[in-house]
Structure 1
Amino acid sequence: MMMEGSHPAGDATNNPHADSPLRAWLAVGSVTVGAFAFVTTEFLPVGLLPQVAAEFGVTPGTAGLMVTTPGILAAISAPGMMLGAGRIDRRLILLVLSVLLLASNLISAFAPSFTVMLVGRALLGASLGGFWTLALAAAGRLVHPHEAPKATAMILAGVTCATVIGVPLGTFIAGLASWRASFMATGVLVAVALVAQAMLVPALPSKAALRMADLLALLRRTHSRRSLIMVAFVFGAHFSSYTFIAPFLQQYADFSAQSITLVLLGFGIIGFVSNFAVSATVGRNLSASLAAMIVILMVSLLAMPALRHAAPAVVATVLAWGIAFGAIPLCLSVWIQRSTADLPEAGSALFVGIIQVAIAVGSSVGGGIVDHAGIPTDFGLGAALAVIGLALLGSFRAIGKDHAAAPAAAGVIAPAPDCNC
């Protein structure tokens, strides 16, 4: 989701708002709201699984398809949409993707059956991969060159906020009204973002397109392949388990719906703080920061089932888990940016795609384990995947593979060389 496009960030020739700073930042804000809405919609079902499963008469594992379905389609759309977009105005693509997101939320909110619900989630997946790949590049082209890092950071803040607070926000709204109200509220947010983007985002022409040859060039590199596999295992470790955190807290730890909302809110808040705290260390030693977060994730997944009868311990473990995942996306995005500095567009598309594969496969396999062996066993799977991810990280150090000392492609931080990668 980091970079796309053929123009330098903030190129004045492509920036009709160059002489109107307020309008430019309002345009960036509209994309930020859109990013928040996209990622919130993606993670919304995690906190709503028990209610949705009960209303449609499906198992929690089957309800997990609400996460699996968009993940599969987003994995395809991330590189696929950019390969097919050619030189189409990126503004038009952003608007079309926002329209699809609005349709997804409305279909989900009024779905009469679980099958229709999955249709709505499929629309999300079709638009999600492309949006993540486009959003930050669009932000960098809306402002003056020296302000591009700030614009990018603003979009990242929207993505980060959604990643860590989308789930508790959904459960909070569901607690006040119903799970359908959560989707309707997100739909209203999407509509606001869509109107704002239509009014404020200028034309964003592209003179070049992502080529299949660029993707294949990265996949032929051993370092890039191993990095993407590591990303898959670490994200898979999280989502194979986190998809079912609400049912676990309800069924195994005897938490009330209100308590679950508060716990997930705590997960989100501490994850948000962790994201910014680790940004101060990730530049100095990327490997150590990433390793620490994977270890915390692994220990949390192992501890949750063992401590399920002690509510305070469960809460502490969930918060530790939040610390880990609050920082993991940042660490891995910087890792991939450094690994693919010469082909940032291809690296971004593959990064987004592999994350969506991990979400889809992780939640799908996790759902099967939940239905046949229980959620504690599924958490064991997540811990095992984290161990594999940690081993892959260690393999880079073992073979002496160092990343190039390239700045983060998003421009949010400019890491120093990390000689311990």
Structure 2
Amino acid sequence: MAVAISAEGVRPAAAWGAVLSMALCVAMLIASEFMPVSLLTPMAEGLRATEGQTGQAISISGLFAVAASLFITTAAGKLNRKWVLVAMTALMLASLVLVAAAPNFAVLMIGRALLGICIGGFWALATAVIMRLVPERDVPKALALMYGGQAIAAAFAAPIGSYLGGMFGWRAVFWALTPIVALNLVWHMIALPSLPARQPQDFRAMLDLLKRPYFLRGLIASMLSWGSAFTMFTYLRPFLEQVTGVAVTMLSILLLVLGLAGFVGTWASGRFVRGNVAPLLKLPALLMGGCTLGLLLLGKSIVAAALFLAVWGAMNTAMSVIWMTWMSQNAEDAPEAAGSLMVAAIQSSILLGAVAGGLLLDHLSISATFIGSIVLAGAGIALIGSGRGLLKP
């Protein structure tokens, strides 16, 4: 890749290598975090647990990610950011090994807890680190490269995991990720420049944001939107198996449709999300909740399921752009504090969705899980309203 030019002259190409290394880390984080979605049934059978219990492997990573996102910038305040990111990647590698070799459910949960720390810590620091790797004018390009790793993982991790899990077993899928993460760890150490700590984040900045009614309402609304999404998404495989009646091959195809649609959502949101974002805030909950309702009513048809999953997948990627744009427009005076709160809110939503959906699945049915998702979407839509109440005065 070409080197970046700054006012001081030629910036070392290693900075772009560091950006690409972070993009690979993002891809591995997303793949590791959500791989259990595509492997839920075989993992439950292999660990002698229910599907609802195994779904908590996602909720536990969310719980620890919430804590890490809030505390990592303070706890690591004086540490070089390069070595904090290296440590986060090492935790991801340890997590994958524990999950792949887990002899029981308890070890699986320990592995997933380590992954949660990595997720929360990485995302809390990622944008600030990117801003130090390239000149200011190249920051959007660098962020696009990093989030490209998220789009790729969202598109291909679930279908490939489902397909390979059917051929070789779910443990082999997690083992297959370990050499890639090990390579990423070495790449971090080589490509990332020294990043001495700057001013540590102050918890008072986060508390001040939470005292702003419009920001607190927006944070809760975003949590309801993501909570609705993950109540459905975490238990999508049981629905497609039990209601739509698909086998592993068709399941992988449907998950690929969902993932590929995410590229459409990324393109559309990048082109059309600008200016006044208020009218767009309820769009994710409205469309994704509607798709979940459509699956409940027409999900026995593979064609209908594919169409609803395509729309859901496109809106899923657009949701991040919409809500992060809202954050940047309404907390521009405290972006780092707002970023930590948003990461914590999103991970709390993953926790909420996986726990609520699992309880409904185990005690009632997969239909009850999807109804729970629709209820959360409705609550989010009601809270957002026109969106004007979520904007700063």
Aligned to 1:141: 132
Note if contact 2:64-2:117 (Cα within 8 Å) is conserved in structure 1.
yes
Aligned to 2:314: 323
Structure 2 residue corresponding to 1:353, chosen from 344, 352, 365? 344
Cα distance per residue 1:210-237 (max 9 Å; x no partner): 0011111111110111011011100000
Structure 1 residue corresponding to 2:110, chosen from 98, 108, 119? 119
Note if contact 1:253-1:308 (Cα within 8 Å) is conserved in structure 2.
yes
Q: State how many pairs are aligned.
A: 390
| Counterpart residue type for residue 43 of structure 1 | F
Aligned to 1:375: 366
Note if contact 2:215-2:392 (Cα within 8 Å) is conserved in structure 1.
no
Aligned to 1:412: none
* Alpha-carbon distance in structure 2 between the residues aligned to 1:293 and 1:396: 13
Shift of the alpha carbon at 1:285? 4.4
Shift of the alpha carbon at 1:11? 9.1
Q: How does 1:80-99 map to 2 (within 5 A)?
A: 80-99=71-90
Shift of the alpha carbon at 1:173? 2.6
* Alpha-carbon distance in structure 1 between the residues aligned to 2:210 and 2:344: 13
| Counterpart residue type for residue 251 of structure 1 | Q
Shift of the alpha carbon at 1:202? 0.6
Cα distance per residue 1:358-404 (max 9 Å; x no partner): 1012100110000111111111111111111112221543x4x5458
Aligned to 2:166: 175
Shift of the alpha carbon at 1:353? 0.4
* Alpha-carbon distance in structure 2 between the residues aligned to 1:402 and 1:222: 10
TM-score by length of 1: 0.88
Aligned to 2:191: 200
Note if contact 1:135-1:155 (Cα within 8 Å) is conserved in structure 2.
no
Residues 258 and 322 from structure 1, CA distance in 2 versus in 1: closer, same or farther, beyond 3 angstroms?
Answer: same
Note if contact 1:46-1:243 (Cα within 8 Å) is conserved in structure 2.
yes
Structure 2 stretches lacking a partner, 5+ long: none
Q: How does 1:295-306 map to 2 (within 5 A)?
A: 295-306=286-297
TM-score by length of 2: 0.94
- SS of the residue corresponding to residue 64 of structure 1 reads helix
Shift of the alpha carbon at 1:208? 0.3
Note if contact 1:140-1:149 (Cα within 8 Å) is conserved in structure 2.
no
CA RMSD in angstroms comes to 1.9
Instruction: Give percent identity, aligned residues only.
Output: 32
The yes-or-no answer on 1:272 pairing with 2:263 is yes
Aligned to 1:414: none
Q: How does 1:207-356 map to 2 (within 5 A)?
A: 207-356=198-347
Note if contact 1:278-1:289 (Cα within 8 Å) is conserved in structure 2.
no
* Alpha-carbon distance in structure 2 between the residues aligned to 1:395 and 1:288: 6
Note if contact 1:69-1:121 (Cα within 8 Å) is conserved in structure 2.
yes
Aligned to 2:35: 44
Shift of the alpha carbon at 1:155? 0.9
Note if contact 2:232-2:357 (Cα within 8 Å) is conserved in structure 1.
yes
* Alpha-carbon distance in structure 2 between the residues aligned to 1:325 and 1:190: 26
Aligned to 1:387: 378
Shift of the alpha carbon at 1:341? 0.7
Shift of the alpha carbon at 1:191? 1.0
Shift of the alpha carbon at 1:284? 4.0
Note if contact 1:86-1:210 (Cα within 8 Å) is conserved in structure 2.
yes
Note if contact 2:73-2:201 (Cα within 8 Å) is conserved in structure 1.
yes
Structure 1 residue corresponding to 2:180, chosen from 183, 189, 194? 189
Note if contact 1:304-1:317 (Cα within 8 Å) is conserved in structure 2.
yes
* Alpha-carbon distance in structure 2 between the residues aligned to 1:236 and 1:180: 28
Note if contact 2:72-2:124 (Cα within 8 Å) is conserved in structure 1.
no
| 273-282 vs 42-51, greater mean Cα deviation | 273-282
- SS of the residue corresponding to residue 312 of structure 1 reads helix
- SS of the residue corresponding to residue 332 of structure 2 reads coil
Q: How does 1:94-109 map to 2 (within 5 A)?
A: 94-109=85-100
* Alpha-carbon distance in structure 1 between the residues aligned to 2:7 and 2:350: 38
